[in-house]
Amino acid sequence: MTEVDSTKLIYVMGPSGAGKDSLLGFARERIGAQVLFAHRYITRAVADGENHIALSHDEFASRLSYGLFAMHWESLGLRYGIGIELDAWLARGRPVVVNGSRQHAELALERYPHARFVHIDAAPSVLAARLARRGREDARQIEARLARRPAFELPSHAHVVKIDNSGMLADAGTQLLALLARTNHA
């Protein structure tokens, strides 16, 4: 396998309700084909505002057994994966954005040691309101997601940028676009 350039990986993460999907959509519409956005495979039906490929648990297990995921994890009863095409894109020097998981970030750092991490967050009241509004979880599930919000730490050598998405989408989106532009020209 060709060696990948992990400096071109932008690993976006943050608590549920922080607006990661909205920010990624904002950036994707504006940056064009200069930056690639990796698909996520999830064992959940497609919902509004979320860009992923829905798989059954059996389909996910089959793809996993064939080594078709560069990264995969489980959270709150769902399975998530990023396709192995990620490595081909990085090997070609293309910047790639991944919608990742905070709990999986350290494993991603092991596989992609020079990745850039973007932590999207929002005020707790904003997170709660967004989770309720999107209607994917009941009150108990929302409470479980909010309980997972406490801070986490990546190793000190990790390159982490924090973006607060409590306010206007365009404000946080402009920050993300600036980071993507810098990565594309690095």
- The per-residue pLDDT for range 169-184, each reduced to its tens digit, is 999 999 999 999 888 7
Q: Regarding beta strands 159-164 and 116-121, do their DSSP bridges make them parallel or antiparallel, or are they unpaired?
A: parallel
* pLDDT tens per residue, range 1-19: 457 778 899 999 998 889 9
The structural domains of the chain, with segments of one domain joined by +, span 6-38+94-185
**pTM of the predicted model as reported, rounded to 2 decimal places:** 0.87
Fold observed for domain 6-38+94-185:
Rossmann fold (3.40.50)
Average pLDDT over residues 108-130: 92
pLDDT at residue 108, rounded to an integer? 92
Q: Which residues, 6+ apart, have CB-to-CB distance to 87 below 8 Å? A: 1, 4, 70
Q: Are the CB atoms for 98 and 11 separated by under 8 Å?
A: yes
Burial class (CB in 10 A: 0-12, 13-18, 19+), 64: middle
C-alpha triplet 43, 48, 52: angle, nearest 5°: 40
* pLDDT tens per residue, range 69-95: 999 999 878 999 999 999 999 999 999
Q: Are the CB atoms for 179 and 118 separated by under 8 Å?
A: yes
Residue type, 93: G
Read off the pLDDT band of 33 (50, 70, 90).
Answer: confident
pLDDT at residue 151, rounded to an integer? 67
* pLDDT tens per residue, range 133-160: 887 788 888 888 788 766 677 778 888 9
